[in-house]
């Protein structure tokens, strides 16, 4: 018996994908400055726009002067692999994995670089015991595990006097959490996540000890040109002032500038964190009211406020797919089925570019789709 009628109101912007994520509110292609298109990215104008995007990122992330920030090819994957390929091999490596992306970096380390890392794993929904980490090793981890909705709670577990380097895949964490930059030697992200920008380019952040590693260590494996960050043993500083390794998409850069200027307009980093937390709190109110909904991440301290992963009482992959398709067909929610390798469930992006009323409007639609697929 059907007891729930179709809700009257749809979320105004039903974009809840965990990547690429919703464009910033008010985004329109008309907002993009197009003067740099069709010009050399090495022209005065091209370089100025690249530098401007770097300056905005530095300001918004509250990045200390000790850390460099540059644009590299290949979205977050490109940036993280560039870091692995250029800096690993100098000391033992520990790789942490608790969901699909962390597992991907383990595969790189084991099968491609063949460096026999110590691997510390946890199941979907859990965080491994971070106290097991030996900080004489280089340590690879994901700040926010996008496919399980489990994040590290903070940077307290990262030793201040570490001998190794900390490598954080921070793509769904930056602009949503306060990152203690003194604990991070390498961080990577892509504009396509919390900023609501485009993929294609990665952003690479390097602390001083990472630069020291780059200038003192020559990897045993070949490095494609796309990964080369040094020349004659010295860091290519140009990469951190807009001289990209190869040709960037200036359209993606202009789009990132629109997103970054929007981020400034909502109060910068703390405005962005506040929006994310408000969205996660709105979703939490929905979850608490429904006995059939719960979190994949059991411990609230480790629970993501960006990629929130939910399990639905007894729902298998088939039911999740049917629910997601129904909601997409109604224009009520796009792309909310969990990641293909994760346990069956829904994943709802709560990053800053989503508006809280749209999360609130989702609740009745979840009830409706749940009953429709029973």
Ligand X SMILES: Cc1ncc(COP(=O)(O)O)c(C=O)c1O
Give the interface with ligand X as residue ranges (CB under 6 A): 19, 75-77, 101, 142, 146, 169, 171-172, 190, 192, 199
From the CB of 215, what's the least distance to ligand X, in Å? 26
CB of 190 to ligand X, least distance (A): 4
Query: Coil, strand, or helix at residue 324?
Result: helix
CB of 273 to ligand X, least distance (A): 18
Residue number, 44 or 111, with CB nearest to ligand X: 111
- Least distance CB 266 / ligand X (angstroms): 23
Distance of closest approach, residue 70 Cβ to ligand X, in angstroms: 16
Partner residues linked to 166 by β-bridges:
139
Shortest Å distance, C-beta 146 to ligand X: 3
Distances (CA, A) of 126 to 97, 98, 151, 225, 316: 10, 7, 9, 38, 20
The smaller minimum CB distance to ligand X, of residues 151 and 275, is found at: 151
Tokens describing residue 264: 């400034």
DSSP result, 61-108: HT--TTSEEEEEESHHHHHHHHHHHHHTTSS-EEEEESSHHHHHHHHI
Name the H helices within 234-316.
250-265, 268-288
Give the nearer residue to ligand X in terms of CB position, either 89 or 149.
Answer: 149
Cα(16)–Cα(10) distance, integer angstroms: 13
Tokens describing residue 30: 């008309």
Nearer to ligand X, 73 or 89 (CB): 73
User: Which H or E run contains 203?
Assistant: strand 201-206
| CA–CA distances in Å: residue 48 to residues 29, 42, 79, 254 | 21, 9, 22, 11
Q: Closer CB to ligand X, residue 74 or residue 271?
A: 74
CB nearer to ligand X: give 151 or 162.
151
């Amino acid at each position: 018996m059907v007891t729930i009628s179709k809700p009257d109101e749809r979320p105004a912007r039903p974009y809840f994908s965990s990547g690429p994520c919703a464009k910033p509110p008010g985004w329109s292609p008309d907002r993009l400055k197009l003067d740099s298109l069709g010009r050399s990215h090495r022209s005065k104008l091209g370089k100025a726009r690249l530098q401007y995007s770097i300056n905005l990122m530095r300001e918004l992330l509250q990045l200390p002067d000790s850390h460099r920030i540059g644009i590299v090819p290949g979205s977050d994957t490109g940036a993280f692999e560039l870091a692995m390929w250029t800096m690993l091999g100098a000391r033992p490596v520990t790789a942490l994995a608790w969901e699909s992306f962390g597992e991907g970096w383990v595969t790189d380390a084991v099968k491609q670089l063949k460096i026999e890392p110590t691997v510390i794993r946890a199941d979907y929904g859990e965080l491994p015991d971070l106290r097991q980490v030996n900080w004489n090793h280089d340590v690879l981890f994901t700040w926010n595990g996008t496919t399980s909705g489990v994040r590290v709670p903070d940077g307290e577990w990262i030793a201040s006097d570490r001998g190794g380097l900390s490598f954080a895949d921070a793509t769904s964490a930056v602009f949503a959490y306060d990152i203690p930059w003194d604990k991070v030697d390498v961080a990577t992200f892509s504009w396509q996540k919390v900023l609501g920008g485009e993929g294609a380019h990665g952003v690479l952040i390097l602390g001083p000890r990472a630069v020291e590693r780059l200038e003192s260590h020559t990897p045993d494996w070949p490095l494609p040109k796309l990964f080369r960050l040094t020349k004659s043993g010295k860091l290519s500083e140009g990469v951190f002032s807009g001289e990209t390794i190869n040709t960037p998409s200036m359209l993606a850069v202009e789009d990132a500038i629109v997103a970054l200027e929007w981020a400034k307009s909502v109060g910068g980093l703390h405005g962005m964190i506040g929006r994310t937390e408000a969205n996660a709190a709105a979703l939490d109110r929905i979850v608490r009211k429904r006995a059939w909904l719960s979190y994949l991440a059991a411990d609230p301290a480790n629970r993501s406020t960006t990629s929130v992963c939910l399990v639905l009482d007894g729902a298998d992959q088939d039911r999740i797919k049917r629910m997601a398709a129904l909601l997409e067909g109604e224009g009520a929610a796009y792309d909310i089925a969990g990641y293909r390798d994760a346990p069956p469930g829904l994943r709802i992006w709560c990053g800053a570019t989503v508006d809280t009323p749209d999360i609130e409007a989702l609740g009745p639609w979840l009830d409706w789709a749940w009953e429709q697929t029973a």
